[in-house]
């Protein structure tokens, strides 16, 4: 009796063991399947997001210098201070579906580190629709360099040589508009155009249409 009881006990414990093993392996299979499913879903979602991002990713606007002139030209013997300076920078929004909001634009012109002119270009912000080109134009009063500035001898020599390297910098902030309800955050943008001006105060031919750098 005892023996039989012992056999029954051991066979029922074997059955329990088998049941447990079956349950464990079922759980393992289920966990594996769920894991694979989850990984698959994540992968597909990742690919979809990547493709959407490639298609919708906003491209920053592109800038080129169209014209620049110091009225009355430059003179190696007297400071241009008091003259007026006009510029025209073309601004292309390359996005097929995304418009760009601009804040007011501030412009400054430097000869190396010396300030030549500074002031507002566009005092108010504006909206540039998708795939359009606009012009940022400005009229500034020339402030220097004056004949007593440290940069004067070098500026005067550059005028005499007929090649004055100037840097026009535009500072603003932009926001991308995807739809009426979906805008990007505001980001600051600096546009820097290196240009060469001749004695007549106008751009040298190789500077006309030159691309400007952008910093964010």
* Cβ atoms of 71 and 95 closer than 8 Å: no
According to the binding rule CB under 6 A, does residue 135 interact with ligand NAG? yes
Among the residue ranges 12-20, 34-42, 127-135, 147-155, the one whose residues contact ligand NAG (CB under 6 A): 127-135
Sequence-ordered strand ranges (E) for 142-186? 164-177
130 scored as a contact of ligand NAG (CB under 6 A): yes
DSSP 59: P
Q: How far is the CB of 199 from ligand NAG (least distance, A)?
A: 22
**139: CB partners within 8 A, 6+ apart:** 84, 85, 86
CB–CB of 87/67 below 8 Å? yes
Beta bridge partners of 214: 191
Please identify, among the stretches 14-22, 89-97, 159-167, 168-176, the one whose residues bind ligand NAG according to the rule CB under 6 A: 89-97
Answer whether 198's CB lies under 8 Å from 163's CB: yes
Stretch that binds ligand NAG, among 48-56, 109-117, 131-139, 169-177 (CB under 6 A): 131-139
Residues 90-109 touching ligand NAG, rule: CB under 6 A, are 90, 96-97
Positions in the binding site for ligand NAG (CB under 6 A): 66, 88, 90, 96-97, 130-131, 135, 137
């Amino acid at each position: 009796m005892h023996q039989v009881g012992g056999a029954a006990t051991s066979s029922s414990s074997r059955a329990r063991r088998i049941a447990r093993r079956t349950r464990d392996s079922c759980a393992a299979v289920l966990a594996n399947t769920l894991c694979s499913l989850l990984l698959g879903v994540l992968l597909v979602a990742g690919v979809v997001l990547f493709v959407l991002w490639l298609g919708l990713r906003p491209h920053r606007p592109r800038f080129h210098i169209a014209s620049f002139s110091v009225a009355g030209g430059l003179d190696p013997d007297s400071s241009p201070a008091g003259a007026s300076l006009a510029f025209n920078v073309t601004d292309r929004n390359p996005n097929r579906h995304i418009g760009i909001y601009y804040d007011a634009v501030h412009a400054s012109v430097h000869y190396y580190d010396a300030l030549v002119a500074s002031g507002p270009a566009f005092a108010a912000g504006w909206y540039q629709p998708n795939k359009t080109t606009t012009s940022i134009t400005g009229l500034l009063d020339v402030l220097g360099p004056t004949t007593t500035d440290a940069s004067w001898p070098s500026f005067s020599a550059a005028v005499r040589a007929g090649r004055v390297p100037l840097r026009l910098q535009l500072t603003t902030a932009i926001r991308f508009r995807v739809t009426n309800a979906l805008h990007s955050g505001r980001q600051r943008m600096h546009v820097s155009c290196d240009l060469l001006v001749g004695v007549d105060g106008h751009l040298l031919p190789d500077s006309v249409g030159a691309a400007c750098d952008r910093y964010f």
